[in-house]
Structures are given as structure tokens and as C-alpha cells.
Chains A and B, each alone.
Chain A
């Protein structure tokens, strides 16, 4: 009995090391995906922040055609790099709305003047309440909402230029 089990500790150690090496080689994805994928957008009505640009309400997201809702902030560095990709998506005919997270009107205005303004509407979420209601955990994040107000896709992190075809395909699917 004990002769057969003699190498058991060594085998357990080898398994433990193999497990640790595997986890180091393929790190865990720490993104927390929203569970609202396939669910209606929670009801909200966010005030406008920029003069001449309307605020954003959940009813604006159920108007018959898919829209891209982008959670951004002027204090968010990746958002600045994402701005030109959003511009390119807009040039392809994508309807984009913005939710500004924990931001001041003057800072948003400066951010848009510097990096471009692809948004049709911008709502201000100063206490991150709509962000939490959407199941989002940071900025930037984007949701594709179909014409009936159902969330079809969530993109965590900035949309990069090579992800544009994916986003366009997802928007096409949401039609």
C-alpha cells in the first residue's frame, strides 16, 4: 500500500506546478461581462451636458435601427485613442450615442473639441448609476442596442481599428 503511494506527494506537487504554470501562461480574463446581453436596456433618462446636443434616454435607443452606445469620459486615456475609431464608424453610417461617466461639462466640451465628436446624443452619468444599471465596469465600453431597445453586444475596452469589421458585423446582425 505505502509502496504504491510513495510517489503521490511528488505527483501532487507536479500537478500543482503544472496548474500554476498554466495559469501564468494564460492569465485569467478579469473583464466582467454584463449579464444584460439579450435583455432590454434599463430605463434611464440622462440630462444633456453640451449646449445644442440632446441628452440620452433609454427611449432614444428603441427607434427602429441599431445604435452604438459608448460609455466614455474625458479623464479616460483609452477613450481618447478610441475617438478616431468612433469617427471612422460614424463615417460608415453608424449611429453613436455617448454616456459621459463622472464628468464635468467643460471637460467633456474640451475632450470633444480635441478628439472629435461622433455622438448624436450625450447623457451625463455623474454618479455612474446608469453605468452600474447597464452592468458595465469601466470606461470605455460600448453596447450595441437593436431597434427594439435590446442589448445585442457589449464591447469592454476601446474599440480598435482592426475591430471595426466585427462591430459593423454585429450592428448588421442587430438590424
Chain B
């Protein structure tokens, strides 16, 4: 019984073999900036920057080490007085617009803006036709 308990305990502390470094997270990775307004600006930006490791998560949500290092970078730059839009474009020059969740006005993103409009027009036409048919009856 005692042995089974010890084995169970051992399994609980067993570390999965993750490909992670031995270094602690960067200083500002999981620490809020003392200035509330700066922290709010950092958070807003971090929620819109995509994690390179857990693609599909923002760096605010991701537990990946690289995401932590990117949060550290964002907080340091905002604390140094840099504008969030400048940090975003600095990242975009490195990783492309892929890195940012905010939709762009690039030609590739045009369907994103046009499809809702098209659907709205199609829906409107459908309603107009239905109403006309009913009136004729």
C-alpha cells in the first residue's frame, strides 16, 4: 500500500521531457509593469501578437518560452516609452503580418472585408424577392 502510494507520488512529480531550456522565464515575462496604463497597453498588444510556437494562441495566452521572451520584449519596450503600433510594425517587418492578429488591408485580406458585405447584399436581395413573390400571391 505504502509502496503504491510512493509510486503514485513519484509519477506526480515526474517531469515530461519537454524541449525547454533550463533558464527561468525572462524578468517581464510573467510580471506586470508597475505603471497601470503601460501594463494595460502591453496587455492589449500582447493579446494581438501571435505566438510562434503555439500558433493559434496569442503571446498573452501561450506558455511557450519564446512567447514569454516576447512578452518581456513588449513590456520592456512599452516601459521605455515606445508606442504599441511601433512595436507591432517592428515585429511585422521580421515575421510578416502573420505575427499580428489585427486584420490588415493587404489584398490577401480583402475577402475578409468583402465577404460579409457580399453576404449582406445577397441576404437583402433574397428578402426583396420573397416579399415580391408573396405580394403577387
At the interface with chain B, which of A50-58, A69-77, A115-123, A159-167? Answer: A69-77
The residues of A that contact B26 with a CB separation of less than 8 Å are 127-128
Query: How many of chain A's residues touch chain B, expressed as a range?
Result: 20 to 34
CB distance from B105 to the nearest CB of A (A): 18
Closest B residue to A127 by CB, please name it: B26
Q: Are B52 and A35 in contact (CB under 8 A)?
A: no
Q: Does B20 contact A (CB under 8 A)?
A: yes
Mind listing 11 A-B residue pairs with CB under 8 Å?
A32-B96, A35-B94, A35-B96, A76-B19, A107-B22, A127-B73, A128-B70, A132-B66, A132-B73, A134-B94, A138-B53
Residues on A with beta carbons closer than 8 Å to the beta carbon of B23: 102-104, 126
Judge whether B98 is part of the interface by a CB distance below 8 angstroms: yes
Q: Are B66 and A138 neighbours in the complex by a CB distance under 8 Å?
A: yes
* Residues of chain A within 8 A of B65, CB atoms compared: 102, 128
A window 128-171: CB within 8 A of B: 128-129, 131-135, 137-138
A123 smallest CB distance to B (angstroms): 15
Given contacts A30-B55, A35-B92, A128-B65, 4 further A-B contacts (CB under 8 A): A36-B94, A75-B20, A103-B22, A131-B66
In this assembly, does A61 line the interface, its C-beta being within 8 Å of a C-beta of chain B? no
Q: Which listed residue, A75, A127, A135, A138, touches B95 by the CB 8 Å rule?
A: A135
Query: B: which residues have CB within 8 A of A?
Result: 19-23, 26, 52-53, 55, 65-66, 69-70, 72-73, 91-96, 98-99
**Roughly how many angstroms separate A94 CA and B52 CA in the complex, as a whole number?**
30
CB of B95 within 8 A of CB of A73, answer: no
Could you tell me the distance in whole angstroms from the C-beta of B15 to the nearest C-beta in chain A?
13
* Contact present for A35 and B95 (CB under 8 Å): yes
Contact between A129 and B98 (Cβ–Cβ < 8 Å)?
no
CA gap between A132 and B91 in the complex, in Å: 8
Q: Are B96 and A129 in contact (CB under 8 A)?
A: no
* Cβ 8 A contact of A32, one of B19, B21, B22, B95: B95
| Bound form: Cα–Cα A122–B73 in Å | 22
